[in-house]
Structure 1
């Protein structure tokens, strides 16, 4: 098993991303035959009902995370909520799932998004360079 720091967690809802504000988190690659990963997020109790409902429904959840450093590109996981626990002032949610391999990296996703918005030529180049610096959020699973 390998353990990493969970830097950010986002729920993919169609083409939108829902940020889950983390107090702390970790992600574990179990390195088993099913390629299972565990994601544990410590967050505010305001998310309790949302995650508990998903756990009760055993609903599959597509999430996007950044691992180890905020500069890293996000990766997508297909997960289910394994457990939700209330702590004194916070809560813990444990997700279990598999890595969703995407064929597009951030630069390709960004370029596709800019092209879809109608940019071309020097304007496209300028926006691309600017957005590669500040990295706006784009769902890793977005199909272009």
Structure 2
């Protein structure tokens, strides 16, 4: 028997090249199947406007990189390489089910944040103050460009 662990999905973003697109969520959950393949399931209840994107990804067996925050907003985002399993249109929302694998087990969010702040010209005490504030608020940071 395989143990599973279920967590509340706090936020989800789609990684597109070097940008992150926030997905407007009503609710969501993420399940670690704890199987020998390292499989995770992500279900997000979202606006109908996302249906065409996810249906196209499903039809074309397209890999989607998502970045999610689990359980608490203060947690580091985790990146997953996923594929769309199912898209269901409900009365007020759409249910999107993804299956995938963790792409990087350890988050390097603090390093990305620091690099982002330095790239934006922050130095000295101002850099430290911005870092302290942003490490708590977790602003969206673009992913590094693929080589």
TM score, norm. by length of structure 2:
0.87
Q: CA deviation at 1:137?
A: 1.0
Q: How many residues align?
A: 142
Q: Is 1:41 the equivalent of 2:44?
A: yes
Q: CA deviation at 1:66?
A: 0.6
Unpaired stretches in structure 1, ≥5 consecutive residues = none
Correspondence for 2:140: 137
Q: CA deviation at 1:104?
A: 4.9
Cα RMSD for the two superposed structures: 1.7
Q: CA deviation at 1:130?
A: 3.1
Q: Is 1:18 the equivalent of 2:18?
A: no
Partner Cα separation in structure 2 for residue 2 and residue 133 of structure 1: 26
- Checking the alignment, whether the CA contact within 8 Å between 2:78 and 2:107 is kept in structure 1 is no
Q: CA deviation at 1:102?
A: 5.6
TM score, norm. by length of structure 1:
0.89
Partner Cα separation in structure 2 for residue 132 and residue 28 of structure 1: 26
Partner Cα separation in structure 2 for residue 102 and residue 124 of structure 1: 27
